[in-house]
Amino acid sequence: MRPTWDLFCNVIDNYGDIGVAWRLARGLAREHKLIVRLWVDDLRAFQRIWPAVDPDAVTQRCADVEVRAWCAPFAEVTPAQVVIEAFGCALPESYLDAMARQSPPPLWINLEYLSAESWVAEHHGLPSPHPRLPLTKYFFFPGYTPNTGGLLIERDLSACRDTFRQDSAASFWRQLGLGAPTPDELRVSLFAYENPALPALLDAWAADTRPLTCLVPEGRVIPQLAAWRGVADWQAGDVYQRGALRLHVLPFSDQDTYDRLLWACDLNFVRGEDSCVRAQAAARPLVWQAYPQAGRAHWDKLDALRARYVEGLPREAAQAVGDLWRCWNGLPDAPPMGPSWAAWRAQQGTIEAHARGWAVHLGTVGRLTDKLVDFAENKLK
């Protein structure tokens, strides 16, 4: 019998919670043929990254996953054999009680946020007994080393990416209303939180010596873009040119189309968690904006990934990558945007070669779905 899995996702803000939960649910169902039920408390947010989702359906099937609306009071159901709580989202009390009545009780896993920090490996897999019920929760930490929970990357991602680049990139650009890039043009995607460094970046791009096309999915950064351009609002489909820079606002797409945008672009600005991993797996250079946290905790996260990512790069290229990432994240000791961008441009070829090698290296870390399945098999033995 194939084991059953329940995944719980509470959407707090943005798309990272549902983005990771959905990608994981799909991966477990598709690659491991598991019976997966995904409980989501905000189906409208879910619909933004997966338009096939019906936001009013209590139960529906999407991509081999049973999607259930997580409502109060919680439905009376038999818990699955493996229960994943995404990002400490706190399971419904009635469901916890039902878990405790199962014999043997389900394996209960709390999926944590991804980080490149070294403490992650020490905390990965640690148990925590429930204070009242005969249940143990295990903490599962995705990460960048083999002794962590690994990364949420599909088994066939690199093959799909390479086939896309060979066969479908030109038609993808046409669908977006663009022609093929000119030989000296740089195509950049920009997915970001509001960022004080953005106007200076746009100025640097407008002053670049070669054409630069920036593609911006609709979202939090649009008001800042509009202000830079001097207009009140900016809708998807609208295009604006200043100097070398051509700015396109795109509709927010489904997860798979967003992957194709990352594969098609030469450089990707990404944020948070899931888009950052996708950009790394795209085998193209990236600039990461860490999710802002209280007490600047995200600066440590940023520096941890930056340090891992630049390993093996020649000193000047490592410095250029680090400076641009740090400048984009507002670190006080980073150089200003103009020189940071110029330095990155000067090292572009080296950084591109490194990005290809880094994507191959990611394959040695291990995949989150495989690691979860192995963990569950060992614990349920």
258 binds ligand TRH (CB under 6 A): yes
CA torsion through residues 228, 232, 238, 241, sign: negative
Within residues 99-138, the interface with ligand TRH by CB under 6 A covers: 113
Residue 186 amino acid letter:
L
149 binds ligand TRH (CB under 6 A): no
Whether 273 is catalytic: yes
Euclidean distance between CA atoms 5 and 115, whole angstroms: 25
Residue found by looking up tokens 């961008």 in the block: 341
Within residues 290-329, the interface with ligand TRH by CB under 6 A covers: 291
Whether 256 is catalytic: no
252 binds ligand TRH (CB under 6 A): yes
Q: Which is nearer to ligand TRH, 191 or 309 (CB)?
A: 191
Euclidean distance between CA atoms 93 and 97, whole angstroms: 6
Min separation Cβ 98 and ligand TRH, Å: 28
| Piece of the chain touching ligand TRH by CB under 6 A; list 33-41, 99-107, 149-157, 252-260 | 252-260
Residue least distant from ligand TRH (Cβ): 16
Euclidean distance between CA atoms 324 and 310, whole angstroms: 12
Min separation Cβ 283 and ligand TRH, Å: 17
Min separation Cβ 51 and ligand TRH, Å: 10
Name the catalytic one among 6, 117, 259, 273.
273
27 binds ligand TRH (CB under 6 A): no
275 binds ligand TRH (CB under 6 A): yes
Question: CA–CA distance from 184 to each of 139, 175, 181, 209, 260 (Å)?
Answer: 47, 22, 8, 10, 21
- Cis (ω within 30 of 0) for the bond into 73? yes
Query: What DSSP string runs through 287-337?
Result: EEEPPP-GGGHHHHHHHHHHHHHHTTS-HHHHHHHHHHHHHHTT-TTSPPH
Q: Which is nearer to ligand TRH, 190 or 320 (CB)?
A: 190
Catalytic residues, by residue number, are 17, 273
